[in-house]
């Protein structure tokens, strides 16, 4: 059989496909190349790359004939003329081919096992704002880096720094979420829910998603320049989160929907994926089913009853000196726990759920404020109580504080609104189970047995209120006096969204006069007197009025600055440390 070579200009139909007399090589003019989805095998080494063409070869003249051979023709050795080779040289095509080979070499080099993709340099990032004239201005969010970092042991100053950084981001997120939710509710109440610009176009988007998007637009997400494997600085074991987007904002979780965040095998030095965070509660079952069979049935009431007959204190938990030191004065019990020593000091004081104000300071002061509101149902924008608070209420529908103010006016006894009014929050008293416990580090402290959400009211600082003249006399005796004017204005931090809105101005209304009174806690006090001091506290003081309108003698209400998990100690910033702080925690 003779094989003839045809020129590229020869017709592929000169010999039929099914003919056995001759084989037309132009019937398959070039090979089909497809990229392989899997990386190259390490045993065979990387795939060889053809050298980029430096000059387009010219078409060769066809040979007259080939010597007869009984073997099958070797297609790999036969010259294959591609359409690009048939065209005259073009500098643009050569540049295109060189770019193709460069990208192909990068692809094959990154497909090997254990390849590490370097993080992009900070200066090489794309511009955040599109240049004017090229389209609408769009802020491009910074992508998450692939650099893996493990944080080693941190000193106390570094721990405080990262903790404050995380707290600041969480406060911004929670305040944005609350304010956005309030705007949606206000637009709905005014009948503007379907109007553009009043929440109509954002109605189907949750407030937490919008808050996270605003923080991302202002580059406020943490740990975007690295991926931390191991403990996250600024986040403690037991921290509680209510939204997945909050985890993404802090850099603790990178997947919005997936419950497991991980580093892909291509970015891992070991060639295996690494899980960085796992969300268990909420989206997955926590059941532990080992398949060992049915659990034993029955009750232990009979055994406990027999123990009670022999010893009443046998079933009492060890360390509890009292299950309620308030003796029913609070809505929730306040337990006393001490497994360190024999100190029983909190049992020696009279428990006051509400402070006792001087009669001359509060008598007739409610009428001087103009009386209460005339709302038949829950208060709304436009009533007298809203006007006293600067035209807006301080709480949302769930009772959470939207943002701190110098002074908050709640609805009082002369208001006609029902007890379920949204402007009656702190006056309802204790709503969480608290426990006074003995600690080797701080002496007496307070912890919650329930989960306390950020912005929630906890309790009131109670005692016997003294005027300025009375304070000077009592201070000479060395009694424990709490001075409200020494508490730093931590309420400014709650609701501060200046990182997102540079035009944000802290509220200055209602105004608060200078506070010259003190609270005597040497004979009567409540659970708030045992809060430990901290320069990085998780609660803060907010001044509130509801039973009188004398702004010189407000109530000291305590609110949560962050989500406080159960059994975490409550700490407050007392400001100027005096010897009375040590007397409270001794």
Q: Give tens-digit pLDDT for 446-474.
A: 999 999 999 999 999 999 999 988 888 88
Host H or E run for residue 245: helix 244-250
The model's confidence at residue 327, banded by pLDDT at 50, 70 and 90, is very high
pLDDT of res. 557 = 97
State whether residue 351 is helix, strand or coil.
strand
Query: What's the rounded Cα separation, in Å, for the pair 459 and 315?
Result: 31
Q: Domains, the chain, ranges and CATH?
A: 1-34 (no CATH), 148-278 (no CATH), 320-585 (2.170.270.10)
The model's confidence at residue 72, banded by pLDDT at 50, 70 and 90, is very low
pLDDT of res. 549 = 86
**pLDDT, tens digit, 9 for 90 and up, residues 102-121:** 776 766 655 554 444 444 44
pLDDT of res. 274 = 77
Query: What's the rounded Cα separation, in Å, for the pair 312 and 308?
Result: 5
State whether residue 560 is helix, strand or coil.
strand
pLDDT at 313 over 60: no
pLDDT of res. 293 = 56
Cis, bond preceding 578 (omega within 30 deg of 0): no
Place of tokens 């900070």: 122
pLDDT of res. 289 = 55
pTM to 2 decimal places: 0.69
Mean pLDDT of 377-406: 90
**Half-sphere exposure at residue 392, Cβ-oriented, CA atoms within 13 angstroms:** 16
Biggest CA-to-CA distance, the chain: 126
Mean pLDDT of 318-345: 92
Least confident stretch, 48-57, 152-161, 442-451: 48-57
Nearest to 235 by CA among 174, 294, 165, 295: 165
CA distances from 62 to 3, 348, 359 (A): 12, 114, 118
CA distances from 547 to 283, 358, 528 (A): 45, 13, 20
252 versus 62: the higher-pLDDT residue is 252
- 8-state DSSP, 238: T
Structure tokens at 312: 């009443």
pLDDT at 31 over 80: no
pLDDT at 351 over 50: yes
52 versus 209: the higher-pLDDT residue is 209
Mean pLDDT of 142-153: 73
Mean pLDDT of the chain: 76
Contact 569, 558 (CB under 8 A): no
For residue 536, how many other CB atoms are within 10 A of its CB?
13
Give the rounded percent of residues in the chain with a pLDDT score beyond 70: 63
């Amino acid at each position: 059989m003779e094989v003839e070579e045809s020129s590229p200009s020869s017709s592929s139909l000169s010999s039929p496909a099914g003919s056995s007399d001759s084989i037309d090589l132009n019937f398959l003019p070039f090979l089909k190349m497809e990229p392989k989805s899997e990386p190259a095998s390490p045993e065979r080494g990387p795939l060889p790359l053809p050298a980029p063409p430096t000059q387009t070869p010219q078409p060769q003249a066809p040979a007259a004939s080939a010597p007869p051979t009984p073997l099958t023709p070797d297609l790999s050795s036969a010259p294959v003329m591609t359409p690009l080779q048939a065209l005259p040289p073009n500098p643009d095509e050569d540049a295109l081919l060189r770019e193709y080979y460069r990208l192909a070499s990068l692809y094959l080099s990154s497909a090997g096992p254990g390849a590490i993709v370097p993080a992009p340099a900070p200066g090489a990032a794309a511009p955040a704002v599109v240049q004017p004239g090229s389209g609408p201005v769009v802020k491009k969010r910074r992508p998450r880096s692939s650099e893996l970092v493990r944080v080693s042991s941190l000193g106390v100053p570094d721990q405080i720094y990262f903790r404050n950084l995380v707290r600041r981001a969480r406060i911004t997120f929670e305040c944005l979420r609350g304010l956005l939710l309030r705007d949606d509710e206000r637009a709905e109440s005014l009948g503007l829910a379907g109007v553009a610009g009043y929440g109509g176009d954002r109605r189907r988007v949750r407030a937490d998603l919008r808050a996270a998007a605003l923080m991302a637009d202002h580059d406020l997400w943490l740990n975007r320049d690295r991926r931390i494997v191991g403990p996250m600085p600024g986040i403690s074991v037991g921290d509680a989160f209510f939204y997945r987007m909050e985890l993404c904002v802090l850099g603790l979780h990178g997947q919005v929907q997936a419950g497991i965040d991980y580093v892909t095998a291509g970015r891992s030095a070991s060639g295996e994926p690494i899980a960085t965070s796992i969300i268990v509660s909420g989206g997955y079952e926590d059941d532990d089913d080992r398949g060992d069979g049915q659990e034993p049935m029955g009750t232990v009431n009979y055994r406990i009853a027999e123990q009670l007959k022999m010893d009443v204190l046998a079933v009492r938990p060890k360390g509890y000196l009292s299950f309620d030191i308030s003796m029913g004065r609070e809505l929730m019990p306040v337990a006393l726990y001490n497994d360190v020593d024999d100190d029983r000091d909190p049992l020696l004081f009279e428990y006051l759920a509400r402070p006792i104000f001087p009669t001359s300071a509060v008598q007739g002061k409610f009428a001087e404020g103009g009386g209460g509101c005339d709302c038949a149902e829950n208060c709304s924008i436009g009533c007298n109580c809203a006007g006293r608070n600067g035209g807006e209420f301080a709480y949302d529908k769930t009772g959470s504080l939207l943002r701190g103010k110098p002074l908050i006016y709640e609805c009082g006894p002369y208001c006609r609104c029902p007890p379920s009014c949204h402007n009656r929050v702190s006056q309802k008293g204790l709503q969480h189970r608290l426990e006074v416990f003995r600690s080797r580090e701080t002496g007496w402290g307070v912890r919650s047995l329930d989960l306390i959400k950020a912005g929630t009211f906890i309790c009131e600082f109670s005692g016997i209120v003294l005027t300025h003249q009375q304070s000077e006399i009592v201070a000479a005796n060395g009694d424990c006096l709490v001075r409200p004017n020494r508490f730093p204005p931590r309420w400014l931090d709650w609701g501060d969204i200046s990182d997102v809105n540079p035009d944000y101005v802290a509220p200055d209304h209602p105004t608060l006069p200078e506070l010259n009174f003190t609270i005597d806690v040497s004979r009567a006090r409540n659970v708030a007197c045992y809060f430990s001091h901290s320069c990085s506290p998780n609660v803060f003081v907010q001044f509130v009025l509801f039973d009188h309108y004398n702004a010189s003698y407000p109530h000291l209400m305590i609110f949560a600055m962050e989500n406080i998990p159960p059994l975490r100690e409550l700490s407050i910033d007392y400001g100027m440390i005096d010897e009375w702080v040590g007397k409270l925690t001794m």
